[in-house]
Amino acid sequence: MDYNILCQKREQLKGIYGKISKEALESFDKSFAIEYAHNSTAIEGNTLSLIQTKAVLEDGISIGGKPLREIYEVVNHNKAFEFVKKGIQEKRLLDENIVKEIHALLMENILAGGVYRNVEVRISGAKHKPPVPNEMYRQIKNFYADIQNSVYENDIEFAAWTHAEFVKIHPFVDGNGRTARMIMNYQLMASGFLPVSISKENRLEYFEVLEAYAVDGNLKPFAEMIAVLEEERLDEYIKLQA
């Protein structure tokens, strides 16, 4: 994926954004939020369908026969995404406080959020072993320092790194994946790009490219995946003005 093409499309969208009808933008944004909540929670095992997720988020309907936790997961995801969008509007730079608040919103009514783990954890089926608590604290401190002093000139790579490095550190007992996808989108939106949703159908490829970074330090496959998703979203919005 040519990063310059993505930048050109980003600028093209900026130029036409004001000409797209408010109704169309609202419809696209609402549809994305539902799809994003569905995919991000489904990747972690949530069994609500896309239609059921829509019913919960748009109509406030509780789905019979589904665990209460699954309802909370999609509701919380929507709250966290609203918080992210507000942070972008206020031009707040991603930092530890924002990350902890995102996690707390994602975990509301599920477990104590925004609290780093003090136990060892394992990622099922992965070669990578997250650091023990003492080492995790050191790595997460470095992570926030690196966020402020990015070595990536390419905004897509920087956003992908934010996700991949965070999930590699695995600072929370639960909710690391959802938080990582949120902070990646925070970085994308902060640089003028659109948020992306990784499809649950692409879960295996997604885990494999994250593993490539965690084990071998190879960010390229994951950054490429995000670049492709970003171009698809930019194209969708650009077509609205056609």
| CATH, residue 18 | 1.10.3290.10
Crossing angle between the packed helical segments 220-240 and 203-216, to the nearest 10 degrees: 140
- Backbone φ/ψ region at 124: left (φ over 0), alpha (ψ -120 to 50), beta: beta
User: Residue 242: its pLDDT value, please?
Assistant: 59
163 classed as catalytic: no
Query: In which domain, by residue range, is 158 found?
Result: 3-240
Contacts of 233 by beta carbon, 8 Å cutoff, 6+ apart: 32, 194, 195, 196
- What does the pLDDT look like over 32-68, one tens digit per residue? 999 999 999 999 999 999 999 999 999 888 888 999 9
Catalytic site residue from 38, 77, 103, 170: 170
- What does the pLDDT look like over 172-220, one tens digit per residue? 999 999 999 999 999 999 999 999 999 999 999 999 999 999 999 999 9
Structural domains of the chain, count: 1
Average pLDDT over all residues of the chain: 95
pTM over 0.85: yes
Segments of 98-146 assigned E as strands: none
User: Residue 86: its pLDDT value, please?
Assistant: 98
- Backbone φ/ψ region at 117: left (φ over 0), alpha (ψ -120 to 50), beta: beta
